[in-house]
Chains A and B, each alone.
Chain A
Amino acid sequence: MISMVSLAIRYLFSRKRQSLFTLLGIFLGAGGFVVISGFFLGFRFFFIDNLVNNSAHIFIQARQEFLEPHSLDESFFKNETKHVFWKSIPAGEKDYHRIESPQGWYERLDSDPKIEAYSPQLVVPALFSKGGSPIAAGFTGCLPEKQARVNTVAANMVEGKFSDIGGGGNRIIVGQELLKRLGAKIFENVMVTVGVGKQTPFQIVGTFDSGNKRSDLQAYGPLADVQRANHTLNLINEIDVRLFDYEQSSTKATTWSALSSETIESWDQRNSSIFTMFALQAMMRNIIVFVIMLVAGFGIYNVLMMTVSQKMKDIAILQAMGYESWEIRLLFLFQGFLLGVVGALLGLIAGFFICQYLQTLPFGGRPGATRPPGHLTIELTMGIYLQASLLSMMSALIASYLPARAAAKFTPIEIIRGGAV
């Protein structure tokens, strides 16, 4: 067996240019896989990391209920008539949606050891104005000490502290985007319209920058003040929950959904469309790599087929000397395998260094943002390198199998018989 291995190496060295070109194919395939996978997976992890760290893991929201054509029959006519026909059929959202039994939820969440923190909220659409045109934005009433534990708003503060809204007194924290659109400054008052349309003055005591323009178009205020402004005292319509292990979010959300009437979504269920995009991205990555490997495989196949046709006499003499078919097969399979191993190894090394360089490139941030841009996230896990090695070697072995089989199929006499009868 060793003699076949050393002979295979001699064969490869005897046609250096062909071997180098074939090696280049595998090298590009393996290196390309590492870089493309590192980039795509890095982006995916960056995105998930942002989602998981910046926001809560589970969102418990009041179920939106809608009026049915006969849902008001009893309220208006009790038992006076059997059949009610409406000129204008009742439709639309039923009442103001709320978490029906917040206390029940608090007890459940307090007793669950997997829950790190939760924050009851009243989230309402609001119009903010400071003299000019009103700006529509989200307004979240919360308990600041609880809210700070479920998302990163407290950590993203640019001016002031998130706990500054804890004392009540109509104080709010606004996102940088909202502040910019309002043309307001810290400690200035703005008018906020929620619920029935009455304006309430709130003082801006801090600003935050999450790095996401959309997230920064909102404001946080004390829960009681927002409830009062909205004329919905003691009402909450959302509980944001953070788990110790975010990977259990969807399981937990599904379990709670089955037990309650609220709408419950985990962070990944809420962003399912993005995960579909990631799946497409993964498919694209696989297609690109498959094409590269296919081309590299064809390179190996062609080179080895050519070698087989050039080495027919060698095959004949080896068999005449007692070498068996499996050894002839090994002679050619090993050439492909060796090209695969060396090509993959070089590709992995090159891929690693390219990934290291890509990691230094600035990424993120936006013009005018207070947060400095980060760097490109590149995934460098062992799994990628293992996959790249396996793919390269598999491609090389598959591509060399057919030439190896063809070589082993000949009998010495078939080769020699050319002119000998």
Chain B
Amino acid sequence: MSIVAKDVGKKIGDPPTQILTSINFEIPDGQFLSLTGHSGSGKSTLLYLLSGLDCVSSGSVIVDQVDLSRMKKKEVAHFRNEKIGFVFQFNYLIAELSVLENVLLPAKKYGQEKNRLELAKSILEKVGLIEKLNRLPRQLSGGEEQRVAIARSLVMGPKYLFADEPTGSLDTGNGEIVMKMLKEVHEQKGTTVILVTHEPDYARRAQRQVSLADGRIISDSGPSLELSLPV
């Protein structure tokens, strides 16, 4: 099982602008991969396509041998809920919900919040927020908010974790904490982590690094690369 991008192309806007061209690569299960590139290189767009948040203009994205473009809306929604965890640059927490409620939000979709309650608390404990589970997002610091967002992305035990510049809005200290959490998720749970970053240092900590420029892959350290740099 893996994520496979086959000749993926993406155009957006009117008139259409080519953002990605002929992207071909495969991400084996359990890999920690970083996508790097300058602003506008198409790395975030590729991440959204691989995670099923966006649709390809040409080619296909195959996840666990299923072509995402052939999935019905309901199936895509279920796929996102069950298999995908997503961490954005901005945490996108729901301001009206407490830390715990935010973390349990994906579980509520199928009425699993009771089953996932203990897991949610244990994740919050790991990220050092168990004391703050009843607080509202506005009562947290930026780093804490991002940790809640990561906890939320993990509560369904996703097979794939997509992180779009999760350290982009954080200071170095909080950035390090977030990177450590991603690494732990990958190592302890075997979760496939795909990280978009323009921080070369963070990118190097992944097992595999893919670089994009002008919508094309310009370098790929390869699927078999086993880098394990200290975090």
Residues of chain A whose beta carbon lies under 8 Å from any beta carbon of chain B: 2-3, 7, 10-11, 13-14, 313-314, 316-325, 327, 411-413, 416-417, 420-421
Contact = CB atoms under 8 A, between A and B. Distances in A.
A260 B164 CA distance: 92
B115 to A, nearest CB: 14
Nearest to B54: A413
B44 A420 contact: yes
Interface of B: 12, 19, 39-40, 42, 44-45, 48, 53-54, 73-74, 77-82, 84, 86, 88-90, 92-97, 105-106, 108-109, 111, 113, 152, 164
Interface of chain B: mostly helix, strand, loop or mixed: mixed
Contacts of A421: 12, 19, 39-40, 42, 44-45
B84 to A, nearest CB: 8
A7 B92 contact: no
Contacts of B97: 7, 10
Contacts, number: 77
A322 B80 contact: yes
A303 to B, nearest CB: 15
Which 3 A/B pairs are nearest by Cβ-Cβ distance? Answer: A322-B81, A3-B108, A10-B96
A324 B77 contact: yes
Contact of B88 (A14, A314, A318, A416): A416
Given A10-B97, A11-B96, A321 B19 contact: no
> Secondary structure of the A side of the interface?
helix
Given A7-B94, A14-B95, A421-B19, A322 B53 contact: no
Given A11-B96, A320-B53, A420-B48, 5 more contacts: A10-B96, A318-B105, A413-B53, A417-B12, A421-B44
Contacts of B106: 321-322
Contacts of B90: 313
Nearest to B162: A320
Contacts of A413: 48, 53-54
Given A420-B164, A421-B19, A323 B109 contact: yes
A317 B77 contact: no
30 contacts: A2-B111, A3-B109, A3-B113, A7-B96, A7-B97, A10-B97, A13-B96, A14-B95, A313-B90, A317-B92, A317-B94, A318-B105, A320-B53, A320-B80, A321-B80, A321-B105, A322-B79, A322-B84, A322-B106, A322-B109, A324-B77, A411-B53, A411-B54, A417-B12, A420-B164, A421-B12, A421-B19, A421-B39, A421-B44, A421-B45
